[in-house]
Every structure is written in C-alpha cells, then in structure tokens.
Amino acid sequence: MHASFHFYDYQSLAVTSMTLQLTLSFSLCHVSGLSLNMAHKLVQVTLCLWVFTSLLLPSPTAGLYRVSLKKQRLNLNRFKAARIAMSGGGMLHNYGSSDGEVIPLKNYMDAQYYGVIAIGSPPQNFTVLFDTGSSNLWVPSSKCYFSIACYFHSKYKSSRSSTYTKIGKPCEINYGSGSISGFFSQDNVEVGGVVVRDQVFVEATREGSFPTFVLAKFDGILGLGFQEISVGNATPVWYNMLNQDVVREDVFSFWLNRDPSANEGGELVFGGVDPKHYKGKHTYVPVTRKGYWQFDMGDFLIGNNSTGVCEGGCAAIVDSGTSLLAGPTAVVTEINHAIGAEGVVSAECKEVVSQYGDLIWELLVSGVQPDKVCTQIGLCVLNGTRYMSSGIKTVVEKENMEGLSAGDQLLCTTCQMTVFWIQSQLKQKGTKDTVLNYVNELCQSLPSPMGESVIDCARISLMPDITFIIGDKPFKLTPDQYIVKMGEGITTVCVSGFMALDVSPPRGPLWILGDVFMGVYHTVFDYGNLEIGFAEAA
C-alpha cells in the first residue's frame, strides 16, 4: 500500500510539472509573437505547436512497467531430465481432456528466464517464472515443513505482512511429473514497480520432491494465461492489473535476449511494447481458444519442403514456461533425420516398413484414404473390430485403446506414422524404392523415449532451416536458432530443440512454441483484442 501511494504521488508531480511547462511555454510564445514581424510569426506559431505537441504526447515507452529477466544457461543433465519427464507425460499430458477440464500439466526443468516480484507489506522478494502456459501465482509458504524444495527457496511469511488477508481454501496444482499443494491467501503483489492490491495466490506447503522444484532457480510461478485454466478460478495477476487500471494498454510483451554472454536475460513489459525490442511490424493472429495463448498455425516446412502435417491447420501455443519447441512425433522424426539427431532404432518401425511398406504404397496409390490404411491391413484393431484412426499424425486416446496390448498399440501408431511419411513423399513424386528407403531411415530417427537427441555441432551449417507459417507469413528458424548449445569450448554439446508431443483431435495436432521461438521473434500478448503478435526480435 505504501508503494502504491508513492506511485500515485509520482504521477501527480509529473502532471504538475507538465502544467507548469505548458504555462511557461505558452507565455514565451505569446510574448515573442508580439515582438516579431508577420514573416516570422508563422515560424513562431509552428514552434509553439511543436512545443505543445511534444509536451502533450507521451513517449512510446511512457506508462510501461518492466520486469528485468534473468537467464539460466541450460545444463545437459537437467535438459535430459526435462525430456524424460515430458516423455512420461509431464507437459500438457491431458490437454483438452474428455471432461472438458483443462489443467496446465507442464515440466519446468528446462525453464531459462525468470524475474523478481514482491509480496506483502513490507515487500518479501521472490524469483518467479513468468509463464504464459499457466494462470496461477504460487510461492513457497513458511508453513512448508516437509518438502525438500522449500528449504532451497524463499518462503512467504504472512505474519510479517500488514496487508495479508487469510483465505485458507486448500488447493492442488498438478504438473504431470508432480504437483504442488497448499492454500489460497491474499496480499499485495508488486510486479515491475507497480502494486497489484488484494491479489489471491497460493502458499505452497508441499512441493514434489522430484528435481523440478528442488533444483529450480525460481521460487514460484506467476501465470500469465487466461482465467479459464486457473486452478480454483483465482483471478490471475494480469487480470487484476487491468481491473485496477495500473497499465495503459491491455497488452504485455516478451523480449528474450539471445546473446549468451549478456548479463541481461531479457525484459517482460506490461502495458504495451518497447519499440527497441523488435524490428519491422508485428504479424497478429487471433486467439482461437482462451485458456492457453492458442492460435491456428499454417504449414510447417523443413528446408523448402512442406511436411504436410499442418496443411489443414494446426493448433499452436506460445509458452514462455518452456525453452523448447514441441510438435507431432511424425514431424519431429523428420526433423531429427534432416539434422542427423541420434534416436533409438525402432525395430517395430522397421518391421512395419519391411512387411507392410509395399502394401501401404499400393493402397495409397489406389486411392484408399490415409486414415483407413492401417485398419485395412489389420494393424489397428479394437476389441475384434477395426479401429478407425482419426488421424495418422495423432496418438490414439487411451480410452479408445484399452482393447489393445502395448505391442499392438505401438504397431498401430507406427503404421499410422509410416502411412503419413509415405503419403508425404508421394506428393513429392518419389519412386517406391526411394520412398521406402527414406522411410526406413526415418525409423532410426524416431525420438528416443529417454530424450537423447545429441547432434554433431560441426554439422550445424549443413542443416536446413525450419519454417512456421503464421498469419500466412513465414517465420524461419535457422539451425543456429533451433539447436540448443550447452557448455563451452571443447565441452560444448549440441542438442535438438525439438521434442515430440502428440495431442489427439479435436485439440491436436498441436505445437508448443517456447523460448527457442520467442527468442527469435518478439511476442506481444494482446488481451484487449485477443491477439498474439510476432516480429523479428532486436
């Protein structure tokens, strides 16, 4: 509250100062005008108008509130752990579940960018991850006694805050590879120099002992997603900033510094955009579904070739809570093959190609619909009846696969990917032998269940560009931008920035655009117009 008064006092002083300047400028212009001849009066009037305009119009960065972001260098062991957690169902595993409830299930071990906020009066500082993929604010509580993670991070002490209000309602936030639980409280929260009054947040009394929160550089998470995915329907911090009129525009924006040697990791700006953070103009696309910052993405290209997976459109989410790019397994496998990423040699995949490749080719050439091929050759069977796949590039939902053994499920899914790859090559007029050899090579590039995708750093210059079509415009990532480098000098390890994530229709296929993408393209989150904007980052 004390900080709030300082904020408003500063505004009053600024207004008073502007009034005095306007009065003085008008007096000078008026007196000077009387002493000049008519030839000079036009110049004087022009000068006066320029003075008034300069004083009345705010600068492009006036009214913006900034949070300086720190950047953590990725560590190979943490990176692999993040990928293992994700492959085990950590990230958005139940995205768009059948009961309609959308809960942000994520993994944060690979998070890189975070900043400082303060809670309470006097303020207690916390380092938080600003996450557009979730909507709650939580920090460790002083009442967290039995979780190892709490002993490594700052804890909120309600007894030391004069603006604290008890709520006490228990809650739990699931993150796939673990969860945090605690209770709701209310207090003032300072973000970027502005105080948000009476903010409801979670005091975490238990954090999963898995490495995510134990090793994390941040204490808690501040969600910037929509209230639709807020656990307990708590009003997000961003909503309260708008409700309390503390920002000029209903917009916030991220600039992530890609210079690994820079001290500044980037900047999160509330209330608008900083022109110094980007080049050219933003391309805006509408938010298609509130919850996550989700939009429709067009085609996806490897080099100059379409993968075909998003020709009919794909859902995509911009997520500042992950450093990676995630997409359908079939496409990530093609990327791995193109860049020479090492994966697990899939015996099942090669078996499908060797035994059924010719038949799949003939069925596709004869005009059989791709989503019916695997049912016709008997690799997708459900309770004695043919299983009709809803898309060769999707993972069959669990409730629809209960009649299949694990091996049958794997063969069915592998067949669907094989059909997709062959169909994609058919469009490029490849011969049967050439196509089947290529598909056999793709089997070796299937993403490893353990997440290994280390590549030869010397080959980066030979790798293809990857292009996302957004708003009918190409957004290209060069190999230097989508390959993640860890370590320095002779210890440098290069890892693919792409991970596999399969989401069934109607919510999928789905792409997650994390910090790898946001570092290249300055991102604007326009809540007022429900749009997301991308421009080349400065």
Q: Are 256 and 515 in contact (CB under 8 A)?
A: yes
Sign, CA dihedral 72-78-81-83, equals: positive
Nearest to 335 by CA among 212, 126, 483: 483
Q: What backbone phi and psi angles, to 5 degrees, belong to 452?
A: -70, 130
Q: Is residue 419 within 8 Å of 392, Cβ to Cβ? A: yes
What is the rounded CA–CA span in Å between residue 87 and residue 90?
Answer: 7
Amino acid making up residue 233: N
> pTM for this one?
0.71
Domains by residue range for the chain, with CATH: 65-91+107-256 (2.40.70.10), 275-339+450-537 (2.40.70.10), 347-393+404-443 (no CATH)
Q: Which residues are catalytic?
A: 131, 319
pLDDT (tens, 9 = 90+) of the chain, 538 residues, equals 333 333 323 333 333 333 334 333 434 344 444 444 554 555 555 555 554 444 444 455 556 888 888 877 665 555 554 544 444 433 333 343 323 333 233 445 455 688 999 999 999 999 999 999 899 999 999 999 988 888 889 999 999 999 999 999 999 987 645 688 999 999 999 999 899 999 999 999 998 755 567 767 889 999 999 999 999 999 999 999 999 999 989 999 999 987 766 778 899 999 999 999 999 999 999 999 999 999 999 988 889 888 877 877 789 999 998 878 888 888 888 888 888 776 544 566 777 888 888 889 988 988 888 888 888 887 886 543 333 333 333 333 333 444 444 455 667 878 888 898 888 888 877 788 888 888 888 876 676 554 446 778 888 999 999 999 999 999 999 999 998 887 666 667 788 888 877 777 777 778 899 989 999 999 999 999 999 999 999 9
